[in-house]
């Protein structure tokens, strides 16, 4: 999922939602820990305090953990992108049905939003297979 962007371009925020059949605790672990993220998001993930290094083949990209709320959300910022951008995983549970929804919030250049959505959809499908969802 290595992403390279031109920092001079306008970044557009977008959101995707996915129904996930999983316990919130297991899903949160997959979204917030190096071992969980390396099961579906990257080939390998290393963590040094709040810096996560995501590795895909021969390339790697660092992200800073901005904020985290156990079993609710985790927000990262790619260190080579503008400070006002981030990517976030947010878990919502329906109070009536207990259905679990994963919301992915990210930024992309205007002409790359659809490509970003397709990439996240592919990645989340891998996550769902990993979870047996």
User: May I ask the CATH class of domain 12-131?
Assistant: alpha beta
Percentage of the chain modeled with pLDDT above 70: 93
Q: How confident is the model at residue 8 (pLDDT cuts 50, 70, 90)?
A: low
Q: Where are the domains of the chain?
A: 12-131
C-alpha distances in angstroms, 23 versus 50, 54, 84, 93, 130? 25, 25, 31, 10, 13
Give pTM, 2 decimals: 0.88
Residue pLDDT, tens place only, 38-88? 999 999 999 999 999 999 999 999 999 999 999 999 999 999 988 899 999
Q: For residues 13-23, give the mean pLDDT.
A: 96
DSSP state of 84: T
- Tell me how far apart the terminal alpha carbons of the chain are, to the nearest angstrom: 22
The two beta strands, 59-69 and 51-56, are antiparallel
């Amino acid at each position: 999922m290595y992403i390279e962007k031109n920092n001079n371009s306008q970044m557009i925020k977008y959101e995707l939602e996915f129904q996930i059949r999983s316990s919130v605790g297991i899903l949160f672990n997959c979204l917030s820990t190096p071992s969980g993220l390396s099961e579906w998001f990257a080939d390998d993930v290393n963590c040094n305090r709040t810096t996560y290094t995501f590795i895909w083949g021969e390339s790697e990209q660092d992200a800073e953990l901005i904020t985290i709320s156990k079993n609710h959300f985790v927000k990262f910022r790619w260190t080579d992108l503008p400070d006002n951008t981030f990517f976030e995983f947010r878990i919502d549970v329906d109070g009536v049905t207990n259905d679990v929804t994963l919301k992915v919030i990210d930024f992309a250049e205007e002409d790359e939003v659809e490509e970003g959505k397709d990439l996240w959809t592919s990645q989340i499908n891998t996550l769902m297979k990993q979870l047996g969802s």
